[in-house]
A = this chain, B = another copy of it.
């Protein structure tokens, strides 16, 4: 089967930056490419858009196919289309990003992916294509969104916390996402002002220190 056009057409892919927090650090989901170009190289998941699917649907499909991750709300980052970004042919990619909890997530590499793993954002391997650029843009956008407005992206930050959490735990999550330390008192004022925290009147115990109050959040 082949497809013929009167004029040349580029291929169009979707690539997806999936961020999560694991072991207290910001991670990104990468796949190891099974095929050339950049065979065996790590890359952000993605693949070709089908002719009858919307961009974001295609991105979600590729993500699930390659990594087993599904049901995440993707936000468009932009299009990347340098003529030589793919050695095979002209490929224009539309990048998406999302922030997801990953604790109970099972990664299942498939399709074009030999492997799918979480990588520490501070220890990235060499990446295929222009994925390093895309990922850097996504990282910057993530830091921007998380603490500025109360958006869906910011909501998803709470998924890295247990149902009952301490304010110190919450601060650690937001610091990880933002990539910089936050002032304790100012953080507590911010979270109280911007989110509906419920004081559970319970305390942690077991630490070699003063117990911390536990909270949950209502949206």
**Which A residues are within 8 Å of any B CB, using their own CB?**
1-12, 48-49, 51-55, 76, 78-79, 81-83, 90, 92, 94
Contacts and interface: CB of A to CB of B under 8 A. Distances in A.
B5 A3 contact: yes
A5 B9 contact: yes
Copies in the complex: 2
A48 B94 CA distance: 17
Given A54-B82, A78-B79, A81-B54, A49 B2 contact: no
B49 A81 contact: yes
Contacts of A92: 12, 49, 55, 92, 94
23 contacts: A2-B4, A2-B6, A3-B4, A3-B6, A4-B4, A4-B5, A5-B11, A7-B11, A7-B48, A9-B12, A10-B10, A12-B81, A49-B81, A51-B90, A52-B90, A54-B83, A55-B81, A55-B92, A76-B79, A78-B79, A79-B94, A81-B94, A92-B94
Given A5-B11, A54-B81, A55-B81, 7 more contacts: A3-B4, A4-B4, A8-B51, A9-B12, A49-B92, A53-B83, A76-B79
B10 A9 contact: yes
Contacts of A81: 12, 49, 54-55, 94
The 10 A-B pairs with the shortest beta carbon distances in the complex, nearest first, are A9-B9, A55-B81, A79-B79, A79-B94, A4-B4, A3-B8, A8-B51, A51-B90, A3-B5, A52-B83
A4 B2 CA distance: 7
A9 B4 contact: no
Contacts of A55: 79, 81, 92
Contacts of A53: 83
